[in-house]
Amino acid sequence: MGLIVFCNNLKNWLIEISNKFNEVLLNSSNTLNLMQIIGLAVIAIIIPMAIAVFQKKESFDKLDKYVFLDFIVKSRWFLVYIGMVYIPLFFWDILPSVFRLLETLIWIAGICLIVKTVADSYSWVKGNTSVPRLRYLRRLKNKEEMAVVWGSLWAIKKLDFREEHDFFKIFAIKIDNLLKNAIKNKETLSKMLLDFLGNISNRTTSLISNCSLKIFNWNAYLWDKENIVPKNKERKGITYFEVSNPIDRITDLFIERNLTEGMDYALFDVLKKFINEDKKKPQYLDRFFNVFYRVFFENFGILIKESPSWDNYFPKEWKITKENILDANNFLTSKTLNRFLKWAQYRIISPKKDYDQELDKATSKLFPEVDPTIFSKILIFVLSLHDPNNWGKSVISKKWNFGGMRFVDVFSGDKEGKIDYKKERKNTFELTLIIFKEIFTEKKIKEIIKELKALNNFQNTGIEHRRDVLLNIFEEILKYIKETKRKKG
């Protein structure tokens, strides 16, 4: 009962206010004209601003047009705002005067919304564009529009590095969301990723370094999607190639740019985190590090120029030592060794230089416990093309293009005089017998020694010197094997 009384009182109160307001309006014959003029004036202000935006030719040209129309002017709602201004005026003399208050309130609301749009447009034209751009990109959900906008954005050659990082954070969120249903969204994903791939050269080194982990995680996620078959189900021809292929290529370029632009220290930290962040499947890690080491060795010459102390950042547990190679759980030392041997063999068989300093440095730094001058000769012997019946002769008859230098890290305080040569030689022989155990058997070593000793007729003294070096190494290895057997009893 009380509620009914309250509603009746409220109704009477609103009618009384409306009547009083109507009396005020009736006393001013120009009120309607004034409201029309104000509406026209406010709407007219935004027209030159829109023209200024669309005539402006800047880096963000395409993105800014979308932002201005959809986020600043809110073109989908702007007609509603205009309707709020002019529809009440249209019905001003048609509807009973009791509606004047409601019509005026709607008109005021429309004017306020248009004025806010004008204020936002003015701020935009004055150059306050960063925040609206980011808000627009966060809220953007239309797939077709997303592909166009991100493509135009990544095509910009010079972005402020802070904006670039902010853009990538939003881009990563969009890709993450689309990847949840990669097959359904593969066209949009493919377009967005290919546009990003095609403009990686425009991205700053800072972005490449800081966003590598995200790229690598996308790579791992798609590999899982492609290679995991649900239990008791068949794959039914599902393919992620249109998405995984751009990600693979982006991964290659991110690794390359980190290595060749002095960001190797950050890359190695990212890789360690990447391995330990989630339990990655051995098959995936094998594939991923095949790619990593291919890029690593292909760009090794640039790496050592851009980052002279690269080996200080290269994880110690990935380097090739006796302890690491015997650790059954240390997958990456074996991967380092296998990829190095392939790379080294190609350079030994098809040398590009008279002297290969890059191969020297790689050998010295990736095998930190060996004597590099001895181990390099062992590598030459093992990796060179040879006649099975005259292995020693085949090796010493060719010119050796590396192995005569020792690199000392002056920054670490190491000096030539501090090197324990006896320990190095022992480590060299131990590692050789582990890595090349099928070649360096006692029987085969004796056969090589016998063959080398039989080679006496030389016209080229260089060949004679190489024979003596190789013969000395094999005799020392044989001696080490015998001493080891004697100690074991």
The amino acid that residue 98 corresponds to is V
Contact 464, 458 (CB under 8 A): yes
What lies within 8 Å, CB to CB, of 282 at 6+ separation is 331
Q: 141 — phi, psi (to 5°)?
A: -125, -20
Report helix, strand or coil for 158: coil
Handedness of CA 144, 146, 147, 151 (dihedral sign): positive
Length of the chain counted residue by residue: 489
CA proximity to 47, closest of 22, 21, 82: 82
Our CA angle for 310, 315, 316, nearest 5°, is 105
Q: 388 — phi, psi (to 5°)?
A: -55, -30
Neighbours of 313 (CB within 10 A): 14
Distance between first and last Cα of the chain: 110
CA distance 125 to 107: 27
CA-based radius of gyration for the chain? 37
Contact 394, 384 (CB under 8 A): yes
Contact 259, 305 (CB under 8 A): no
Residue with tokens 């995936």, as numbered in its chain = 284
CA proximity to 264, closest of 310, 317, 204: 310
**pLDDT number for residue 389:** 80
Q: 181 — phi, psi (to 5°)?
A: -135, 70
**pLDDT number for residue 459:** 66
- The first and second tokens of residue 79, run together, are 């007609």
Q: Count, in order, helices (H) and strands (E) of the chain.
A: 24, 0
CA proximity to 174, closest of 163, 189, 152: 189
Contact 451, 392 (CB under 8 A): yes
Rounded average pLDDT per 10-residue block, the chain, 489 residues: 51 53 49 64 63 59 71 65 69 65 78 75 66 86 90 88 92 95 92 95 94 95 80 58 94 96 95 86 91 96 92 94 93 94 93 86 94 94 86 88 67 55 93 94 93 80 86 94 85
CA proximity to 163, closest of 131, 121, 127: 131
Q: 358 — phi, psi (to 5°)?
A: -65, -45
Neighbours of 221 (CB within 10 A): 17
Q: What is the pTM of this model?
A: 0.79
